Amino acid sequence: MTSTLDAATVTMAGALNTALADALAADQGVVVFGEDVGTLGGVFRVTDGLAARFGQDRVFDTPLAEAGIVGTAIGMAMNGLRPVVEMQFDAFAYPAFEQVTSHLAKLRNRTRGAVSLPIVVRIPYGGGIGGVEHHCDSSEAYYAHTPGLRVVTPASPADAYRLLRQSIDCPDPVIFLEPKRRYWSKETAQLEAGGPALDQAAVVKRGTDVTLISYGGTVATTLEAAAAAAEEGWDAEVIDLRSLSPVDDRTLTESVRRTGRAVVIHEAAGFCGYGAEIAARLSERCFHSLQAPVLRVTGFDIPYPAPALEGHHLPSTDRILDALARLQWDDEPDERWLDSGGAHA
């Protein structure tokens, strides 16, 4: 199913809005609800105009209760609907955590496949927008660690459209993480629902020396870093994971076996973050191809900082370049880890 629009300049928020509209038009079972998604059109305007076009029975505001939103979505899906719900911000999805982990993720398995929950939980996530506390969390690792959930995050408007349409069509529950600092990023593209499978990663820049792996809000930074790296003589390949769970091992290992080096970039806290899984997997699966350890460039292990300091916290092109430089190009081990003690406890 393809949007009727021809290639045009579109923001990610706009592409998501079109995806919702097209999904609502394509399937009577799709309903969209959450806090402020109806009359207001969402605090990020992603649902703008949908209530007016599709009516209050299909696009509606709920009382202010996130467990209530996810919990009732589960009941609706049991009755044949395809709910697409919005959590207003990342940290405000936590009240729904029990419904997500104990039911949304498990109900299909619990019933040996008898109950299917084709639900999409849209969550604007991440920082970089000068937001106050609780408005900038990157919660992907919580969801990716929860079996039974799919976790998807777009990095571009065209992907946002396609991945959201595919997520809505998917019979599995999908946590759909929208990198809010990319909402107003623009792209000239034709919005299409078809294309690669939902869980296929994209090589967004080809390269031979090192594989930079990222997703969501930091893909743009990573591409910038790759461009800067080229000036320093490193030809970096850039992978946008798109689907965090399941992860596309094939694309990853194929690339890293070729380049022999890898850096994972995300803005969430590094400790037990999503990048740990990627680094661990690649270290295992590509052990004999790796010329240097897989490095991670991530947010620090601190609560998301206030706007005045977020610039120091977020992965920057400089920090990615620093990591590149530490990839032992001259065969010298990273001196930071030479003393036998590591950090002093």
Partner 1 sequence: MQSLDFRPFRARHWRQLFTDVSHWEPNVTAVAAHPVSSSPPAGTGLLPSGEPWQLIDPAGQPVTEAGPLPPDPTLTELYRRMVIGRRFDAQATALTKQGRLAVYPSSHGQDACQVGGVLALREQDWLFPTYRDSVAIVTRGVDPVEVLSLLRGEWHCGYDPHQHRVAPQCTPLATNTLHAVGLAHAARLKDEDTVALVLLGDGATSEGDTHEALNFAAVWKAPVVFLLQNNGYAISVPLAKQTAAPSLAHKGIGYGIPGELIDGNDAAAVYTTVQAAVERAAGGQGPTLIEALTYRIEAHTNADDATRYRNSDEVAAWLARDPLTRLEAYLRSAGQLDDDGAGRLRAEAEQFAAVLRERMNADVPADPAELFAHVYAEPTAPLREQRDSLLAELRDAGEQR
Ligand X SMILES: Cc1ncc(C[n+]2csc(CCOP(=O)(O)OP(=O)(O)O)c2C)c(N)n1
Asked if 135 is part of the footprint of partner 1 (rule: CB under 8 A), the reply reads yes
Sites for ligand X among residues 112-141 (CB under 6 A): none
Query: Which does residue 286 touch among a copy of itself, ligand X, partner 1, none (CB within 5 to 8 A, set by kind)?
Result: a copy of itself
Which residues inside 266-285 make contact with a copy of itself, applying CB under 8 A? 268-269, 271-277, 279-281, 283-285
**Between residues 38 and 207, which has the closer beta carbon with respect to ligand X?**
38
Cβ at position 231, least distance to partner 1 in Å? 15
CA 90 to chain CA mean position, Å: 12
* 123-182 binders of a copy of itself (CB under 8 A): 133-134, 137, 141-142, 144-148
Annotation marks residue 288 as catalytic: no
Q: Which does 307 bind (CB under 5 to 8 A by kind): ligand X, a copy of itself, partner 1, none?
A: partner 1
- Structural tokens at position 239: 């992978």
Q: Select from 188, 187, 178 the least CA-distant residue to 216.
A: 178
**Contacts of ligand X in 47-66 (CB under 6 A):** 64
List the interface residues with ligand X, window 235-294 (CB under 6 A): none
Applying the rule CB under 8 A, the residues between 212 and 271 that interact with a copy of itself are 245, 247-254, 257, 268-269, 271
44-47 long-range CB contacts below 8 Å, 24 or more apart? 44/13, 44/124, 44/178, 44/180, 44/183, 45/13, 45/17, 46/13, 46/16, 46/17, 46/20, 46/86, 46/122, 46/178, 46/183, 47/17, 47/20, 47/86
Closest to ligand X by CB, 95 vs 196, is 95
Verify binding: residue 280, partner 1, rule CB under 8 A: no
Site for partner 1 in 20-49 (CB under 8 A): 31, 35-36, 38-41, 43
* Out of 63, 80, 233, 342, the residue judged to bind a copy of itself by CB under 8 A: 342
Q: How many Å separate Cα 68 from the centre of its chain?
A: 24
Q: State the minimum distance, in angstroms, from the CB of residue 92 to ligand X.
A: 4
- Rounded CA separation 40/238 (Å): 38
- 135, 145, 312, 344: which is the annotated catalytic residue? 135
Q: CA 337 to CA 192: how far, in whole Å?
A: 47
CB of 322 to partner 1, least distance (A): 7
Among 29, 71, 95, 307, binds ligand X (CB under 6 A): 95
Q: Is 126 left (phi over 0), alpha (psi -120 to 50) or beta?
A: left
Q: Which residue has the tokens 């209760």?
A: 65
In the numeric block, the tokens 């019933």 are attached to: 111
**CA–CA separation, 236 vs 232, rounded Å?**
11
DSSP bridge partners of 31: 83
Task: Tell me the CA distances in angstroms from 245 to 146, 151, 248, 303, 344, one per residue in order.
Answer: 9, 5, 8, 24, 35
Which member of 53, 318, 333, 334 binds partner 1 (CB under 8 A)?
318
Question: Within 22-81, which residues bind a copy of itself (CB under 8 A)?
Answer: 67
Active-site annotation, residues: 135
